């Protein structure tokens, strides 16, 4: 796994939006089959995905999406 560091959120978007790209997003999918390690209330789901999205202008609201994928 690699680490991404940025001085500010604009640095996460290609050319800081100057190339017409105005958003960046990342999704992490967690394998949740081991119910002993599952978050409370999510034991019945096989996978959990979390998405973070950054939009320009930065004054736009934060989007944090949690998606439940399939039941165990």
Q: Residue 68's pLDDT is what?
A: 66
User: Cα(20)–Cα(45) distance, rounded to whole angstroms?
Assistant: 38
Q: Residue 70's pLDDT is what?
A: 65
Give 50's Cβ-side CA count (13 Å radius): 5
Say which residues have a Cβ less than 8 Å from residue 19's Cβ, sequence separation at least 6. Answer: none
Q: Are the C-beta atoms of 45 and 69 separated by less than 8 Å?
A: yes
Q: Residue 24's pLDDT is what?
A: 79
User: Over its length of 72 residues, how does the chain's per-residue pLDDT go in tens digits?
Assistant: 467 677 777 777 767 677 777 787 878 888 999 989 998 988 888 888 888 787 777 654 555 566 666 665
For residue 24, give both structure tokens. Answer: 């960046």
Instruction: Say what the pTM is.
Output: 0.58
Q: Residue 34's pLDDT is what?
A: 92
Say which residues have a Cβ less than 8 Å from residue 28's Cβ, sequence separation at least 6. Answer: 49, 50, 51
């Amino acid at each position: 796994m690699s680490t991404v560091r940025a001085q500010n959120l604009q640095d996460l978007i290609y050319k800081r939006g100057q190339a017409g790209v105005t958003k960046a997003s990342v999704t992490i999918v967690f394998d949740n089959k081991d119910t002993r390690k599952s978050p409370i209330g999510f034991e019945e789901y096989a996978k959990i995905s979390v998405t973070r999205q950054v939009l320009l202008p930065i004054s736009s609201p934060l989007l944090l999406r949690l998606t439940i994928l399939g039941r165990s």
